[in-house]
Amino acid sequence: MDAEPNALGRAKRLWSVMPREFADRFRPYVGGLAKAMVREIQHVVPEYAQPLDGVFGVYFTQAVEHAILYPLSNIRDDVRSHEDWREVFRLRGRMEFTEGRSLDCLQTAYRVGGRVAWRHIAEFGQKQGVPVDILCVCAEAIFAYVDELSALSIEGYTEAQERAAGTMARRKRRLLELILADPPASPQTLADLAGSARWKLPEWVTMVALEPISDQHARSSPAIGPEALVDLEGAEPCLLLTDEITDVAALESGMKGWRAAIGPRVRISEAALSLRWARRVIGLVQRGVLADAPVTRCSDHLTTLWLLSDEFLIRELSARSLAPLDGLTVKQRARLTETLLVWLQSRGSAPELAERLGVHPQTVRYRMHQLEGLFGDRLTDADERLNLEIALRAERLLTQD
C-alpha cells in the first residue's frame, strides 16, 4: 500500500507495475509529445494561447515536459518519495490564481493533455508491439494521473485564494480604520492603501453602526456587497457602504442578529461624523428614546438628534425656561406641560386644543389661564416660545429614558 498521503497515490502505483523498458523506449518521444500537448491545450484553452518562443511559452512547454517525465520516473519505482513533485503541482495551482486565471482553465488543460498523451502513447505502443494489457494499465494510469494533478492544483489554488482573501480582508480593515481615524489619514495614504486592497475610493459613503443583539452563534455576517468595508470584531462594529441605501427592508433581511443604525450619507472625509451620529442613534434606541427596530435611519430622527445633541445644555435650557412650573405637583405639571406644548405647536382655539387633548374646552381655558399666570409675557415673546417648545419636546423625549 502506498504510504504517501492524498495525491499522486493511485497513478504512481499503476506506473510502478509497468516494464522499465517501456519508459526507456518512450523517452525520446517526450519532446514531441510535449509540443503536441501544448498546441492542443492552446487551441482548446485561449487563456494559454501565447507565443511558444516567449517567456511564457518556454516555461509552459518545460512544465508540460516535466509533467510527462514524472510518471516515467515512477515506472518500476514504488519506493521513492515525490513530495517535491507534489509541491510543483500545488505551486501550479497557486500560480494560476496569482495570474488571474480560473481553475477551469488549468483543469481543462490537464484533461486535454491527458487525451493527447493517451493518443500518442497508444500509437507508440501499437508500433512497438506493446501488449494490450500493458497499454490498458497505461491508459488507466494516465487518467488517474490527470485526476491527481487536478486535485493538487485545486489544493494550491484554494490555498492561494484563502491567503489572498485574508490579506485583502486585513488591508480593508486597516483602510476602514484610517478612514475613521482622528485626525483622518491623508488622501494619499488612503489612496495607496485602497490600491493595495483593490478597493476604489468613493466620493460618498454611508456609515452603519451595528450592535449585536444575539449570541455569536445566532448572528450571521451582514449580507452586503463586496464594495463594503466591514468591522465586526471591534468594540463598536460598523459598516461602510458605498451605495446609497434605498431599500431598508433588504438591508434588514441581511442583518440577522444585529441592530443597525444608518448614518447620514456624507463625503468620505466625513465618514467618522456619519458613524458618530449612527452610534448616537444606537444609544437612543438602547435607552428607549427611539423606538426599537432592526434598522433605524438617522435621517428619520434629525430633530431628536439635534434636540439631544448636548443633553447638558438642553437640561439647562429646560431648567430656566420651565422654572415657573417647579412649584407644581407631578400631576399638575404633567397636565400643564401637555397643554402648553399642544398650544405652542398649533396656537389653536380652546375647542381645537380640547379636541387634540381629549378634554372639555372649558378645561383648556382653565389651564391656559393658569399658564398665563405662571409665564406672563413670555408666552407672547417669539424667542421665549421657541425656548419653551424646545424644552418641552426634549423633556418629553428624555422622560422616556
Using the predicted structure, report yes or no on whether residue 3 has a pLDDT greater than 60.
no
Place of cell 455576517: 221
Using the predicted structure, report yes or no on whether residue 7 has a pLDDT greater than 60.
no
- Segment 253-279 mean pLDDT: 91
Q: What is the side-by-side order of every strand in the sheet holding 204-212?
A: 229-231, 238-241, 204-212, 258-267, 295-297
User: Which of 43-57, 330-344, 378-392 comes out lowest in average pLDDT?
Assistant: 43-57
How far apart are alpha carbons 225 and 383 in whole angstroms? 49
CA distance readout (Å), 101 to 104, 122, 303, 345: 8, 32, 53, 66
For residue 293, the one-letter residue type is: A
How confident is the prediction for the chain on average, in pLDDT? 83
pLDDT band at 79 (very low <50, low <70, confident <90, very high): very low
pLDDT band at 14 (very low <50, low <70, confident <90, very high): confident
- Segment 330-346 mean pLDDT: 92
Q: How much is the pTM? A: 0.58
pLDDT tens digit string along 152-164? 888 888 887 777 7
- Segment 240-267 mean pLDDT: 86
Using the predicted structure, report yes or no on whether residue 336 has a pLDDT greater than 70.
yes
Beta strand segments in 164-267, E: 204-212, 229-231, 238-241, 258-267
- Domains (ranges, CATH) in the chain? 10-164 (1.10.490), 203-307 (3.30.70), 311-398 (1.10.10.2840)
Q: Give the model's pLDDT for residue 5.
A: 43
- Segment 3-7 mean pLDDT: 43
CB 314, CB 396: distance < 8 Å: no
pLDDT band at 54 (very low <50, low <70, confident <90, very high): low
Q: Give the model's pLDDT for residue 367.
A: 92
> Which stretches of 185-270 are DSSP H helices?
187-196, 248-253
Of the candidates 8, 318, 354, the one whose C-alpha atom is nearest the C-alpha of residue 147 is: 8
Ranked by mean pLDDT, the top range of 57-61, 127-131, 181-185, 293-297 is 293-297
How far apart are alpha carbons 334 and 329 in whole angstroms? 9
Q: Give the model's pLDDT for residue 208.
A: 94
- Segment 164-177 mean pLDDT: 82
Q: Who has greater pLDDT, 167 or 299?
A: 299
How far apart are alpha carbons 337 and 398 in whole angstroms? 14
Three-state secondary structure call for residue 384? helix
The answer for residues whose C-beta is within 8 angstroms of residue 278's C-beta and 6 or more apart is 207, 208, 209, 238, 261, 262, 263, 298
Using the predicted structure, report yes or no on whether residue 77 has a pLDDT greater than 60.
no
Place of cell 485545486: 154
CA distance readout (Å), 26 to 29, 63, 67, 139, 257: 6, 18, 14, 15, 64
Using the predicted structure, report yes or no on whether residue 63 has a pLDDT greater than 80.
no
pLDDT band at 59 (very low <50, low <70, confident <90, very high): low
CB 148, CB 9: distance < 8 Å: yes
Using the predicted structure, report yes or no on whether residue 49 has a pLDDT greater than 70.
yes
User: What is the DSSP-derived secondary structure letter of residue 325?
Assistant: G
Using the predicted structure, report yes or no on whether residue 204 has a pLDDT greater than 80.
yes
Of the candidates 333, 346, 348, the one whose C-alpha atom is nearest the C-alpha of residue 395 is: 333
pLDDT tens digit string along 213-244? 876 555 667 767 778 898 888 888 999 999 88
Place of cell 441605501: 245
pLDDT band at 255 (very low <50, low <70, confident <90, very high): confident
CB 321, CB 330: distance < 8 Å: no
